[in-house]
Structure 1
Amino acid sequence: METSRIPGFYNMTVDERIEMLKKLHDFSDEDIDNIHKKAPLTTDTADKMIENVIGTFELPLGLGLNFLINGKDYVVPMVIEEASVVASASHIARIVRKSGGFTTEAAERLMIGQVQVVGCSDFPAAKEAILQNKEVLLEAANNAYPSIVARGGGAEDLDVRILNEDSNSAYSQMLVIHVYINTCDAMGANIINTMVESLAPIIEEMTRGKVYLRILSNYADKCIAKASCVIPPELLQTGEYSGEEVRDGVIHAYEFAASDLYRAVTHNKGIMNGIDPVVIATGNDWRAVEAGAHAYASRNGTYSSMTVWSKDEYGNLVGELELPISVGIVGGATRVHPLAKFAMNILQVKSAKELAQVIVAVGLAQNLGALKALATDGIQKGHMALHSRSVAVAAGATGEMIDIIARELIKEKQIRVGKAKELVEQYTK
């Protein structure tokens, strides 16, 4: 990838965009067919992925442009049906690249497997038995999945908690063991589940209890990705709004989300508008990432903003986002779904850590895009301008008529299907 800065990309036809991609990447004819001409996911392939298949369901695949992350350019594949998201993320990425781009980092790749033990006659003694035999358990877990150990991963540590020890209900009293597993470049659900399931008989013998659940946790708080950006106010100037006004409006909007549950939910949904499309495009589990992100937003006991926006001593706008991002670049749909493979080819990431960093940077960009719009002209102006095209199509417009109808809907400030149908009838008489 030479650059993610492609001026006028949104004005090109689909064919022109494909030709531009071919210049930037060494795509095969099959790759191009998959995204442009043929159904990329055949029903035969789909039938091997899930149960009771009757067909496939498609969503738009767009490209987030202008992303400069740790000095490297990325064109970011995004799968989403909502208008303005890709445009907003690309717009903010263009602003941020002028101030040096996004800075990101990712923590150790440790996922968590949980083992639930009930019925212990002496929970403290059972906990101590587990801790004293930690190395035995880690070795057993690694013996259950030697291939991940050979790749440099595997079970690295564990800890134990006693839950509800003083409860009067025997159902709520339990010992919970966390096994910390380095899954390398895999998301690792199957690896984790195999390892913790193998420990059940050993743990029952050590604790004299009964093992029930043995499963991964999607709260991957040992697998954190962080993104930040610093933007001089002059880059934020929008229409009649000065850069300082936009900066302060963004910070006020953040403080609203940080202080109010009702706003925080919508604020964070906007962040996930950027994150989920990349997770989906790369064949990863967006539900796991979404659940973990919202849990992390509640880690201090109150659900709050995932992002933090502030002003530094020089008057710059500073944005920060950190989230647990449990994704992989091997295994699962990333190596089965043709478009997931294509998306990975576009991204050119070399590790799961790198993919997580790209994802969290897009989330930060999308959040700023929403807050900037809210702090200036309001989010509806840009959103509805893009939505008008979808309304025109729904009303039966085709070809050049789509843009004509869309412009008229915006002009008359009536972006609804009924009005669009009236206009289509007028233009087709």
Structure 2
Amino acid sequence: MNQPFSGFSKLSKEEKINWIAKEYFSTPDEAKALLKQYWNTDEKIQKLHDEFIENTITNFYIPLGVAPNFLINGKYSTIPMAIEESSVVAAASKAAKFWSTRGGFKATVLNTEKIGQVHFIYKGDISKLELFFAQTKSSFFSETQSITANMQKRGGGILNIELKDKTNLIPNYFQLHATFETKDSMGANFINSCLEQFANTLKKEALHYNLFTEEEKNIQVVMSILSNYVPNCIVRAEVSCPVEALEEKHIPNATVFAERFVQAVQIAEVEPYRAVTHNKGIMNGIDAVIIATGNDFRAVEAGIHAYASRSGQYSSLSHAKIENGIFTFWLEVPLALGTVGGLTSLHPLVKLSLEMLEKPSAQELMQFVAVAGLAQNFGALRSLTTSGIQEGHMKMHLNNILNQLEATDEERAAVRKHFKHEVVTHSGAVNFIENIRK
């Protein structure tokens, strides 16, 4: 394509597909057939998917799996996980089963405070701005009453509003920093609506404030937006047991395993290069549940990684210790989640996932998500500190290799038999298939 396409969004889905197939593919008919192959045969469901975003042409599927046997706060649950990466669900399931006989997971929501900010420029006497804010603070609450009424009925609403001086960072830069409780909704629309009203109130009240000069009255609002960094919306998940109880077939020496496990976590606490991959493993579990339950994994990712950097250096989200013969492994993560609103009431599989979790509250969902992250991290660290991570991962990845090679059922059976006691490698699988075919 050598020039912009004008009016693409106004085309029908069929017209969009025809244009893309003709413009970018050497075999347009094959491209169109592939795109249509992934349409849902139920027209109602397909229309629903088409309207989630803009310029839709088809559906992009990822698998939805389940990890059973999670004993959380004394109750068994099966956790839905939507993810495309091999071995994630298997590792979570294995960790769940391991801890189900050792007391299970404990999960606690420590706080549920969410944050939004009005960013503005004020050129004038800071002491006058502080006095103005103190005298008009009640107006920010009263003028958002129509927005907050329903949320207040559910026990939520605006918790507090502060004026923050950020002029040491940018000249004349200030914030209205607000905290919120949004109960079972993630609350993005609610928070943003409140913030935009705060901005209107700020500008209106400033224009009529007698102590301001004309320049001081001209407050410039740059933007009003929630923050996905929620360091006071925290959930803790942990497991613990006597060190000797860690022993099993793959852990013949529990003391050595526990010490090496703690050392591995300590390395991730102090070494950012290791911490990034360590936390990525945690996010394998967290993201999979976030996606399955219709929440915003990009927002969660951004907030969690910011939290991992709160000391000034990127560090491990999880921690481990051995005290008085007791092994303890835990994490604390910020999670702003919802179980009402958004996709939670629209996407059929999201509704199914939430029902599988017995229709949790937002706080209960926070616990499921944190536990999935901890389980995934435990599974990864157990492999890394014992047999190594590739042995198990590559066995799970073998299906992908066989699919790439378009292996027959007979070839698949032969490959699996061969690698039952051999280390799986991509080149090894390719060579074995080629030798069979010769």
Alpha-carbon distance, 1:153 to partner = 1.4
Alpha-carbon distance, 1:264 to partner = 0.7
Alpha-carbon distance, 1:177 to partner = 1.3
1:151 aligns with 2:154: yes
Q: In structure 2, do the counterparts of structure 1 residues 422 and 379 end up closer, same or farther at CA, with 3 Å as the change threshold?
A: closer
Residue identity opposite 2:299 in structure 1: A
Highest CA radius of gyration, 1 or 2? Answer: 2
Residues 188-207 of structure 1: matches in 2 within 5 Å?
188-207=187-206
Q: Which residue of 1 aligns with 2:71?
A: 68
- In structure 2, which of residues 274, 286, 292 is the aligned counterpart of residue 263 of structure 1? 274
User: TM-score w.r.t. structure 1 length?
Assistant: 0.84
Q: Which residue of 2 aligns with 1:307?
A: 318
- In structure 1, which of residues 362, 368, 372 is the aligned counterpart of residue 382 of structure 2? 372
Residue identity opposite 1:122 in structure 2: D
8 A contact 1:41–1:338 mirrored in 2? no
User: C-alpha offsets along residues 329-362 of structure 1, whole Å, 9 cap, x if unaligned?
Assistant: 0111111111111111111143000000110011
For 1:196 and 1:134, how far apart are their aligned partners in 2?
A: 13
User: C-alpha offsets along residues 30-75 of structure 1, whole Å, 9 cap, x if unaligned?
Assistant: xxxxxxx978994311221101100110111111121111111110
Q: In structure 2, do the counterparts of structure 1 residues 361 and 88 end up closer, same or farther at CA, with 3 Å as the change threshold?
A: same
Residue identity opposite 1:395 in structure 2: L
Q: Which residue of 2 aligns with 1:30?
A: none
Q: In structure 2, do the counterparts of structure 1 residues 258 and 182 end up closer, same or farther at CA, with 3 Å as the change threshold?
A: same
Percent identity among equivalent residues? 38
- In structure 2, which of residues 277, 295, 311 is the aligned counterpart of residue 284 of structure 1? 295
User: C-alpha offsets along residues 195-250 of structure 1, whole Å, 9 cap, x if unaligned?
Assistant: 11111121124453211211110001221111111033334335364111111111
Q: Which residue of 1 aligns with 2:32?
A: none
- In structure 2, which of residues 219, 236, 239 is the aligned counterpart of residue 226 of structure 1? 236
Bigger mean CA offset, 118-127 vs 352-361? 118-127
For 2:224 and 2:44, how far apart are their aligned partners in 1?
A: 33
- In structure 1, which of residues 328, 353, 375 is the aligned counterpart of residue 338 of structure 2? 328
Residue identity opposite 2:271 in structure 1: D
Alpha-carbon distance, 1:317 to partner = 1.4
Q: Which residue of 1 aligns with 2:144?
A: 141
Residues 20-419 of structure 1: matches in 2 within 5 Å?
42-163=45-166, 165-166=167-168, 170=171, 173-207=172-206, 208=217, 209-237=219-247, 238-239=249-250, 241-313=252-324, 315-399=325-409, 401-409=411-419, 413=423, 415-416=425-426
For 1:385 and 1:414, how far apart are their aligned partners in 2?
A: 6
Uncovered stretches (5+) of structure 1, i.e. residues with no partner? 1-36
For 1:347 and 1:40, how far apart are their aligned partners in 2?
A: 28
Bigger mean CA offset, 328-337 vs 138-147? 138-147
8 A contact 1:256–1:263 mirrored in 2? yes
8 A contact 2:394–2:424 mirrored in 1? no
Bigger mean CA offset, 132-141 vs 99-108? 132-141
Q: In structure 2, do the counterparts of structure 1 residues 370 and 157 end up closer, same or farther at CA, with 3 Å as the change threshold?
A: same
Report SS of the residue matched to 1:227: strand
Residue identity opposite 1:233 in structure 2: V
Q: In structure 2, do the counterparts of structure 1 residues 400 and 352 end up closer, same or farther at CA, with 3 Å as the change threshold?
A: farther
Report SS of the residue matched to 2:51: helix
For 1:40 and 1:249, how far apart are their aligned partners in 2?
A: 54
Report SS of the residue matched to 2:66: strand
8 A contact 2:354–2:360 mirrored in 1? no
8 A contact 2:148–2:158 mirrored in 1? no
User: C-alpha offsets along residues 267-303 of structure 1, whole Å, 9 cap, x if unaligned?
Assistant: 1111111100000000100011111111111112221
For 1:336 and 1:299, how far apart are their aligned partners in 2?
A: 36
User: C-alpha offsets along residues 1-24 of structure 1, whole Å, 9 cap, x if unaligned?
Assistant: xxxxxxxxxxxxxxxxxxxxxxxx
Bigger mean CA offset, 236-245 vs 42-51? 236-245
Q: In structure 2, do the counterparts of structure 1 residues 281 and 198 end up closer, same or farther at CA, with 3 Å as the change threshold?
A: same
Report SS of the residue matched to 2:176: strand
Bigger mean CA offset, 153-162 vs 183-192? 153-162
Bigger mean CA offset, 331-340 vs 251-260? 331-340
For 1:361 and 1:176, how far apart are their aligned partners in 2?
A: 35
Q: In structure 2, do the counterparts of structure 1 residues 127 and 367 end up closer, same or farther at CA, with 3 Å as the change threshold?
A: farther
Q: Which residue of 2 aligns with 1:7?
A: none
Bigger mean CA offset, 378-387 vs 112-121? 112-121
Residue identity opposite 1:282 in structure 2: T
Residue identity opposite 2:336 in structure 1: S
Bigger mean CA offset, 406-415 vs 211-220? 406-415
Alpha-carbon distance, 1:422 to partner = 5.4
8 A contact 1:249–1:372 mirrored in 2? no
8 A contact 1:43–1:53 mirrored in 2? no
For 1:221 and 1:206, how far apart are their aligned partners in 2?
A: 31
Q: What do you get for the CA RMSD once the two structures are aligned?
A: 2.3
**Count of paired positions:** 387
